[in-house]
Structure 1
């Protein structure tokens, strides 16, 4: 199946001379949740703005669901919904009216039943007659999602969608995102909550200084770049690590009762087997063990640090 978004040789240089994007190549698969991660100023919002037709590219092309975003702007934009970072809504309009109006902006005929479905899906139906100004920040963000879905797009961009939202509301919103993906909507999200990307995304892209430095299946990324720590709780304290165990680069806790082995996940089986054999040969016994794997956040920090 062809990708739903294809970005080719995309670049953006502003009038000030600042180069925000450099030769970006990226494909988004139909029906996936794709998380775009990067530090502040990396180019995430510029990339999204270009794909959504808000900012013009300096070089390169973008095709959204078969439509070139420059030559066939209206058709391309009609396939895309955007939830921006900023809470920008008409404060004096009601929830139902503002979502219906957004639908009309894309030339869609009035469809109260569809608007009702979206508002119920986002737990906004009981607020349909409330003015936007009376809603909490979390509810206003839900209204932005409803507005983005009003014209039935097949692609949904979520730019920091849970910023300023409490934990319970975040969980509820992610359930909505999962349901949208199940309904066939392709989701592209940026987030500073890397645990969300780790939980939600099918693939991860990392952007730094205007360049895509990595695109990977989440599971493969965790397996390839993640590291694990095996901590052994010893039955008797050690003062030094035996020379025979030096190749494992073990860390001995100040108490002498814990040994920590850090290893690449790809070498998990052979490394641990050899370590346990070495411990036995050295007469070292342990009464308990625990493991810890690198989080996506640690991998991300490492990748961006290498790029810097």
Structure 2
């Protein structure tokens, strides 16, 4: 049986869920983590629900059997929408936390009452998302934009040089370069309408895919400095902590066991991928400051 010292499993279709892992580490520095990027089967957002559900079940079983996880964070909006209820039924004793676009937090901060939502087509056309939007009908004006190909482009961009302004919140970056991610961001943001703080403009943008925070600098250049970005990493980390506390599984050891300062102890964090390990290594270095030896390739049938 899992103990408080057992690791937390985290998985996504690719490297985007590293944004959630980063928030989890910050909220729970004593915990151990096993992250799995199912890059060989990405992008989930452009596949059918049955396929995504099958992968989600296979990965859940793998992480339980091979790594003895005490809880699972499904760090993928598409997998949450397609499979979380089935996984709860199949693994009733496993604490489980999923993701959904942060529509309710956006409602709490918008002043114009106009909110933009970007995500994968799989997420935004799911029954789960439809029910969420229906429950909030009339509370704001939503502009929902599927961003086909953007998550996959972000995956491919990890080996590119990191812009000096990346991931800063208060710096106005230069316009995006003519990169694949920049071109896709421009296409989809332009299709949504006017952003800003004036009446009738969208003053809030929900990043409905874990990958999108990694192009925040490009999105910021397109929507301007007054638009608030709402993403899911921190809320999910808080919910995971609450779930573990309720289950009596929160680790309370003195001194952080998660890697700090670019160090990696494989007993404390493991980064796994079903795809090319070089992509995960590049993403781990770029976004978490972790060395290549944290990463390894695995097969999950």
* Shorter-chain TM-score tier: under 0.3
Normalising to structure 1: TM-score of the pair? 0.27
Q: Which has the larger radius of gyration?
A: 1
Normalising to structure 2: TM-score of the pair? 0.27
Q: Which structure shows the bigger proportion of residues in helix conformation?
A: 2
Q: Which structure shows the bigger proportion of residues in strand conformation?
A: 1
Higher relative contact order (CA 8 A, sep 6+): 2
